[in-house]
Amino acid sequence: MSLDKVVAELFPQLKRQVHGRRLVYLDSAATALKPLSVIEALKQNLSFEVANVHRGAHFLSDEATEKFENVRELVRQFLNAESSAEIIFTRGTTEGLNLVAQSLGSLILNPGDEIIVSQMEHHSNIVPWQMVAQAKGAKVRFAPVLEDGALEFEAFQKMLSSRTKIVSLVHLSNALGTLNPIKKFFAAAKAVGAFCVCDAAQSVPVLKVDVRDLGCDFLVFSGHKIFGPTGIGVLYGRKDLLDKMPPYQGGGSMISEVTETGSTYLASPHRFEAGTPAIAEVVGLGAAIEFVRGIGYENIRSHDAELTSLADEELAKLGGIRRVGRAPQHGHVLSFLLEGQHPSDVGAILDEQGIAVRAGHHCCQPLMHRFKIPGTVRASLSVYTSESDILDFVKGVKKAKELLS
């Protein structure tokens, strides 16, 4: 039995109808649907396990703290980090990148230093670096993207110098589906002494990520893209670096001592987790990771590859389709343009047929400028995507082509 048939019943939202049509959900790169195991974990926590963590002197607080810290250890194993102290809970990828940009950037950047990102980065991996660069007199440089959507390694190498202090790159592009050979890029960056940051928001849901194998100093991802709740994410960072970095926020839970003359801070991870954390969401994240581990990444990758290939083949039969992003290594994201038509018009017609896709620049405006396009239509697959979803999607594109011609 195919993977989608095994897991589809575990996602109650797939039973919905949209505009009187069966829901075809192809917007998983924006946020993944939630399985029953995650929903039940949240329900259980919010119904019977409500308590604050770390500071209580009663059974419920001890229980909540144990479950909260167990998820931290689960994430450590999931990423193959060396210590659970290297796992910081954030609100998501965006907050993780802002934390590293402000805390690491304020510590190491000087006027004339350089930060390298790429043209395919999400705005969350551009704007925080621009902000800290402006404050410190540094410069953000953009590694170029080739016509097929791959990162140009040779050009990236030529950009590296003793001025390069930080390299921050996406592992799997949310707009192109390009799977970057990030280990190769980080090895080159390390050779000039740069710190390496990995945006793994799109890669963690579909392939095994090992922070030690990748050679990154920091890595971020969001819970909601890996079947978990919104409002929770993870920042991995090397402990020796985290303990040197100043806190990103101040408040309760992150202090060692507060006096009228100043404050001292706890070691990582607590120095970066000021205030009451998203406790239920952490529990939900743990359930989501267990769900992914239960399916297995080999099954996920083969399922995505099979259906992405089917979508490519069927769209090609329609003609008049421009695929954007055809790098040799590719993920679960399929972006395209219907020639002569605005992507938003195509997205609206698909929506009328119950087909949920994303249309626009996908928070990647520099990338769209590079390809000289206003945006794309993006279909993104997941474990619950079926062959019938793909065929209905292609029928929807065909209808859009007929209506807009």
Strand 255-259 and strand 24-25: pairing? unpaired
What tokens appear for 168 in the block? Answer: 């921050």
What is the CB neighbour count within 10 angstroms for residue 117?
23
- Both 265 and 313 in one domain: the answer is no
Rounded to 5 degrees, φ, ψ at 376 are: -140, 165
- Residue 5 is predicted with a pLDDT of 65
Contacts of 311 (CB under 8 A, 6+ apart): 334, 379, 381, 390, 393, 394
Q: What percent of the chain has pLDDT over 70?
A: 99
Residue 169, classed as helix, strand or coil, is strand
Coil, helix or strand for 214? helix
Rounded Cα–Cα distance for residues 135 and 142 (Å): 19
Positive or negative: CA dihedral 399, 149, 184, 269:
negative
- What is 246-269 written as a DSSP string? PPSS-STTSEEEEETTEEEEPPTT
Looking at the structure, tell me whether residues 64 and 173 fall in a common domain: yes
Considering the domain architecture, whether residues 345 and 254 belong to the same structural domain is answered as no
Ranking 3-17, 97-111, 230-244, 368-382 by mean pLDDT, the lowest is 3-17
The CATH number linked to 307 is: 3.90.1150.10
Q: Is residue 20 part of a domain?
A: yes
Looking at residues 27-31, what average pLDDT do you find?
98
Structural domain that includes position 378:
3-29+296-404
Of the residues 293, 320, 354, the one at which a domain ends: 293
For the residues 106-112, what does the mean pLDDT come to?
96
Q: Does residue 34 sit within a domain?
A: no
Exposed (0-12), middle (13-18) or buried (19+): which is 161, by Cβ within 10 Å?
A: exposed
Stretch among 145-149, 266-270, 390-394 having the lowest mean pLDDT: 266-270
Residues 53-71 pLDDT 10s:
997 789 999 999 999 999 9
Q: Are 355 and 280 in the same domain? A: no
Q: Does 364 participate in catalysis according to the annotation?
A: no
Sign of the Cα torsion 122, 347, 226, 44 reads positive
Radius of gyration of the chain (CA): 22
| 316: phi then psi, degrees, rounded to nearest 5 | -60, -30
The answer on 184 and 132 residing in a single domain is yes
Please give the DSSP secondary-structure letter assigned to residue 335.
Answer: E
User: In this structure, are 186 and 116 located in the same domain?
Assistant: yes
Mean pLDDT of 372-391: 96
Omega of the bond prior to 269 within 30 degrees of 0, cis? yes
222 and 356 in a single domain? The answer is no
Report residue 1's pLDDT band, with 50, 70 and 90 as the boundaries.
Answer: very low
- Residue 277 within a domain: yes
Average pLDDT over residues 122-140: 98
Which of 196, 198, 363, 364 is labelled catalytic? 363
Helix, strand, coil shares, percent, the chain, to 5:
45, 20, 35
Domain termination residue (choose one: 242, 272, 293): 293
What is the pLDDT confidence band of residue 8, given thresholds at 50, 70 and 90? Answer: confident
Strand duo 255-259 + 355-356: pairing: unpaired
Over residues 82-108, the mean pLDDT reads: 97
Domain assignment present for residue 230? The answer is: yes
- Same domain as 332, residue 196: no
Is 377 part of any domain? Answer: yes
Mean per-residue pLDDT of the chain: 96
**pLDDT at residue 349 above 90?**
yes
Q: How confident is the model at residue 405 (pLDDT cuts 50, 70, 90)?
A: confident
| The model's pTM | 0.96
pLDDT of residue 3: 67
Q: Are residues 244 and 344 in the same domain?
A: no
| The pair of three-digit structure tokens given for residue 310, joined into one six-digit string | 């089917």
Do 151 and 225 share a domain, yes or no? yes
* Residue 2 scores a pLDDT above 80: no
* CATH code for position 172: 3.40.640.10
Write down the pLDDT at residue 9: 86
Q: Render 48-88 in DSSP notation, one character per residue.
A: H----SSS--SHHHHHHHHHHHHHHHHHHHHHT-S-GGGEE
Which of 274, 293, 312 terminates a domain? The answer is 293
149 located within any domain: yes
Residues 253 and 334 in one domain: no
Q: How confident is the model at residue 7 (pLDDT cuts 50, 70, 90)?
A: confident
Q: What is the pLDDT of residue 6?
A: 67
Beta strands in 58-163 (DSSP E): 87-90, 114-118, 139-143
| Same domain, residue pair 300 and 281 | no
Question: What's the domain count of the chain?
Answer: 2
C-alpha distance from residue 117 to each of 4, 21, 204, 246 (Å): 36, 42, 20, 23
For residues 177-185, average pLDDT: 97
Structure tokens at 345: 């018009």
pLDDT of residue 360: 92
**What span, in angstroms and rounded, lies between the C-alpha atoms of 108 and 136?**
9
Question: Does residue 96 carry a pLDDT above 50?
Answer: yes
